[in-house]
């Protein structure tokens, strides 16, 4: 489905054309090469991207000078985030019909917010390290880390597994490698790479279908009311990720053994927990057993995440 975006004058500024151009820039390294692959003139491609940038109010591409082939282009940080969220919007249209843009395009400001990916689980019920188990064409952990790539500078991958550390480093993530194996250790090491006045989002690494849009909904809810704890949900089911305001930073560091963030819900009597609705029900599903895999593999193929 061609999910067209229009401006306040109801004039089209983004659809399949600019989308394919941006994806081509990621693949070929420049706007001119992307346009050539689409049999489009460079001048037309330039006008399409510039029109989109004017309507959005930020640059989608950054120029890179030099190199053996001369100048090239890369997606800007905001461009990467926009592209990921636009794809979520297009998927929502394809699956559910037209959706409200106000619900899907969220504030991408992560200043003062850190994200800890908890990737130290051993998958006892799975009977092996599920995060490295291949779903489709790649290890499970890669699906989540690929989703978070546009905001990787705000993320820390906390793990006891050397292979996961290597994947994180390869993708450009900060990693907190440690030997201690309890949940509280994974939380504490992840927090050690964040500023102590940060709000913190904890993401479980075994949720391969989480969308960037739903994660950003948590941070947007926090911006509007920074006193509450926010957790992603769907209907009556409350799950992860969970966002904690800065005042819980030290208390999270003081957790012990297998205590996780939910332990604070019992200890802190005045804590207020607000649910934030995910776009899709499968985003909050975690892979628990090998019997769960066919459902995830079917969705990964259907959503084009392979």
Range of the domain at 87: 5-103
* Per-residue pLDDT, 69: 45
In this structure, are 60 and 181 located in the same domain? no
**Residues 131 and 165: beta-carbon distance below 8 Å:** no
Burial of 251-274, coded b for 16+ CB within 10 Å and e otherwise, reads ebeebeeebbbebbeeeeeeeeee
User: Do 209 and 296 meet the contact criterion of CB atoms below 8 Å apart?
Assistant: yes
Residue 208 sits in the same domain as residue 164: yes
Residues 284 and 209 in one domain: yes
**Could you give the CA distance from residue 88 to residue 284 in angstroms, rounded to a whole number?**
15
Are 171 and 294 within one domain? yes
146 shares a domain with 67: no
CATH of the domain at 70: 1.10.10.10
Tokens 């292979």 -> residue? 163
Domain boundary among 84, 103, 122: 103
What the block records as the tokens of 227 is 């006193």
Residues 90, 111 within the same domain: no
Q: Which residues pair with 5 in a beta bridge?
A: 14
What pLDDT, on a 0 to 100 scale, did the predictor assign at position 98? 43
Nearest Cα neighbor of 212 from 76, 89, 65 is 89
Do 144 and 92 fall within a single domain?
no
| pLDDT on residue 104 | 53
Pairwise CA distance, residues 49 & 14, whole Å: 9
Q: Low-confidence residues of the chain, pLDDT below 70?
A: 1-2, 65-71, 94-108, 123, 306
Residues 6+ apart with CB under 8 A from 18: 48, 49, 52, 60
User: How many domains does the chain contain in total?
Assistant: 2
**Tokens in use for 222?**
């926090």
What pLDDT is recorded for position 175? 97
What confidence tens digit (pLDDT) does each residue in 138-179 have?
999 999 999 999 999 999 999 999 999 999 999 999 999 999
Can you give the C-alpha Rg of the chain in angstroms?
Answer: 20
In a shared domain, residues 169 and 78: no
pLDDT of 99 reads 43
From 103, 122, 153, give the residue that closes a domain.
103
Query: What pLDDT, on the 0 to 100 scale, is given for residue 52?
Result: 94
Please check whether residues 114 and 96 belong to one and the same domain: no
Q: What is the CATH number of the domain that holds 136?
A: 3.90.550.10
How far apart are the C-alpha atoms of 188 and 205, rounded to whole Å?
16
Q: For residues 246 and 111, state if they share a domain.
A: yes
The four Cα atoms 284, 291, 168, 258 give a dihedral, to 10 degrees, of 70
Give one DSSP letter per residue of 235-289, joined into a string: TTEEEEEEEE-GGGHHHHHT--TT--HHHHHHH-TT--EEEEE-SSGGGG----S
For residue 184, what are the contacts with CB-CB under 8 A and spacing of at least 6?
Answer: 255, 256, 257, 258, 259, 260
How far from 187 is each of 9, 34, 158, 176, 200, CA to CA, in Å?
48, 42, 7, 10, 10
Residues 91 and 174 in one domain: no
Out of 103, 121, 136, pick the residue that ends a domain. Answer: 103
145 and 43 housed in the same domain: no
The confidence score (pLDDT) of residue 220 equals: 92
């Amino acid at each position: 489905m061609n999910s067209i975006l229009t401006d306040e004058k109801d004039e089209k500024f983004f659809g399949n054309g600019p989308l394919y151009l941006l994806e081509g820039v990621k693949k070929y390294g420049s706007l001119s090469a992307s346009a050539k692959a689409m049999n489009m003139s460079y001048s037309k491609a330039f006008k399409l991207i510039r029109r989109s940038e004017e309507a959005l109010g930020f640059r989608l591409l950054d120029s890179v000078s030099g190199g053996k082939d001369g100048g090239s282009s890369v997606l800007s940080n905001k461009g990467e985030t926009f592209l990921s969220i636009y794809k979520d919007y297009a998927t929502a249209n394809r699956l559910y019909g037209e959706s409200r843009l106000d619900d899907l395009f969220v504030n991408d400001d992560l200043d003062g917010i850190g994200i800890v990916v908890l990737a130290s689980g051993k998958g006892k019920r799975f009977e092996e390290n599920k995060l490295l188990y291949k779903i489709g064409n790649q290890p499970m952990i890669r699906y989540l880390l690929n989703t978070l790539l546009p905001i990787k500078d705000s993320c820390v991958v906390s793990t006891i597994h050397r292979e996961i550390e290597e994947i994180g480093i390869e993708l450009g993530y900060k990693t907190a490698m440690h030997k201690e194996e309890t949940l509280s250790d994974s939380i504490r090491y992840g927090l050690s790479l964040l500023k102590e006045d940060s709000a913190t989002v904890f993401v479980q690494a075994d949720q391969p279908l989480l969308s960037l849009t739903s994660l950003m909904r948590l941070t947007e809810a926090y911006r509007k009311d920074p006193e509450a704890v926010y957790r992603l949900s769907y209907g009556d089911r409350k799950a992860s990720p969970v966002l904690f305001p800065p005042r819980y930073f030290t208390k999270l560091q003081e957790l012990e053994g297998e205590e996780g963030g939910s332990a604070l819900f019992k200890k802190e009597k005045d804590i207020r927990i607000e649910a934030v609705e995910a776009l899709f029900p499968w985003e909050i599903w975690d892979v628990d057993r090998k019997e769960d895999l066919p459902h995830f593999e079917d969705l990964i193929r259907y959503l084009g995440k392979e």
